[in-house]
Amino acid sequence: MAAAGATGSGLAASGCGAGASAESVTLRMVAADYGDPRRGNSTQGYWDALVRKFSQRYPGVTVDVTVLDWKDVDKKVAAMVAEGRAPDIAQLGSYADFAAGGKLYSADELLSIPVQADFLPRLAEAGKVERVQYGLPFAASTRLLFYNRKLFAKAGLDPSKPPRDWGRLVRTARRLKAAGVRVPYGLPLGREEAPAEALMWVLGGGGGYTDKAGSWTIDAPANIRTFEWMRQNLVGRGLTNRSPGSTDRQDVFDAFTRGRVGMLNGHPKLMKEAAASGVDYGTAVLPGDEGPADTTLGVADWIIAFKQGGRREEAGRFLEFVFEERNHYTFVDRYDLLPVTTSANERMRAAPEHKRLRRFQDQLPGAEFYPVGKVSWARVSRELKTSVGNVLERGADPAAVLGVIQRKAEAQDSATRAR
C-alpha cells in the first residue's frame, strides 16, 4: 500500500468546483498491477511516486493505493462494494454495473472541461453508460499480428510479407509446420484471453459481439462461420498449440519469446518481451477472411470514483493530477501501453524510442472495444472466458456453444432491465 500526505492547508479549488478543506482527507484507491513484482516493476512503484508528488502539491489530502493482481482486482472491488466499503477510486477492467446502480460519479462531476476534452474521443465514448461518461480511460492497447522473422526464413517464407488474409495464414502456417516449427500459429482461447482472442477472429470474419443497436450477436451466422473455419483449417490441421481452449495468453506469449511460435495476435507489451529475449519479430495488421481485417481489438482499462465516501472534490483533484500529461505519459511509457489522452498520444508519437508503437497507435481510432457500457458485459465476459474455447473442442458444435452464451447474455440483459 502506498500512502502520501499529511495535514495541511487543504484542497485547493479545482476545475470542477472543489472548495477548500479545513481537515485532512484520506482517499482509498484500488489499482491493478501492470508489472511483474518478480522483476521489480510492480505498478505499486508508480503509484508510490505519484502520490508523493500529489501530497507535496496538496498536503491536505492523503492517498492510500492498494495494488492487486489483474486476476483479482475486479472481483475484490465488487466484493468491497457489496460489503458497503467501496473505495473512493478504483482502477479496473469494467464499470457499467456500478454506474447502473447509481454508485459512481460521472466524468463531468469529477473533471474540468479541458481534462475531459483531452481524452481520445473513441475512448471517452467507450466510457459511457446511457450516454453519460462514468468510466475514465486509464490505458489502452490494440492488437497486431506478430510473427517470428527467423522462423519465416527457415520455412522459406519472405519475412517482409506476412499473411494478409486467412487463406495465406493457413498456407504460411503449413510451411512453418513443415519446417519443424513447434507452434505455427499460437491460439489462446483459455480463460485469460478468451474474450479478446475470440473477438479478434470474429471481427476478421465480419462479425462481432453486438450490433449497432447494442444487442448481443454472439451466435450470429458470421461468428459461427468464423469458428467453424478455425476448427477445420487451423486446429483440425494441427497448426496451433494443443488444446487452444485451455491455453492462456501468457503461455503462448512465453513460447513466442522462446522462439517456438511462428505467428500470434499480440499487444504492445509483447514487443518488449520479444526484444528482451532476442526474438527477431515483425508486426502486421490482423488478417481477415478476404484481406486485412477492417478493424482490430481495442482494449481500455478504466478509473472510476465511487459516491459512497462522499469525497467527490478530493477524488476529482487527484484524478486531474493522474491525467496531467507528464504523469499519464510516465505510466504508459513505463509499461508500453497506449495513451488515452491527445496530449500524451502526440508526445508518444513524436518520441523516436516509441517508433514501433506507432502502428498500434494508428489502429486505435478505428478499433473495436468490448461493449463495456453494457451492464451485462462483466458477466458475459466471464461466460466467454469459461465457455467460448469449447467451440474448438473435438466434436463440438460452434452454433450450439455460441447459442448458449447468447441466451445467457440476453437473460442477463433482461434481468438488468427488470431491476
- pLDDT tens per residue, range 85-142: 999 999 998 899 999 999 999 999 999 999 999 999 999 999 999 999 999 999 999 9
Reported as a pLDDT band with limits 50, 70 and 90, residue 394 is: confident
Check residue 13 and report its DSSP letter: P
Whether 354 and 347 have beta carbons less than 8 Å apart is answered as: no
Sorted by where each starts, the structural domains of the chain and their CATH numbers stand as: 2-140+299-367 (3.40.190.10), 144-295+374-417 (3.40.190.10)
Residue 31: is its pLDDT beyond 80? Answer: yes
Span 246-266, average pLDDT: 96
Comparing 28-37, 177-186, 301-310, which segment has the lowest mean pLDDT? 28-37
One-letter-per-residue 3-state SS of 336-347: CCECCEHHHHHH
- Tell me which residue of 370, 395, 392, 389 sits closest to 380, measured CA to CA: 370
Contacts of 39 (CB under 8 A, 6+ apart): none
Portion of the chain with pLDDT greater than 90, in percent? 84
Helix (H) or strand (E) holding 282: strand 281-284
| pTM (2 d.p.) | 0.87
- Tell me which residue of 43, 89, 122 sits closest to 342, measured CA to CA: 122
Contacts of 216 (CB under 8 A, 6+ apart): 209, 210, 380, 406, 409, 410, 413
- pLDDT tens per residue, range 38-93: 667 799 999 999 999 999 999 999 999 999 998 889 999 999 999 999 999 999 98
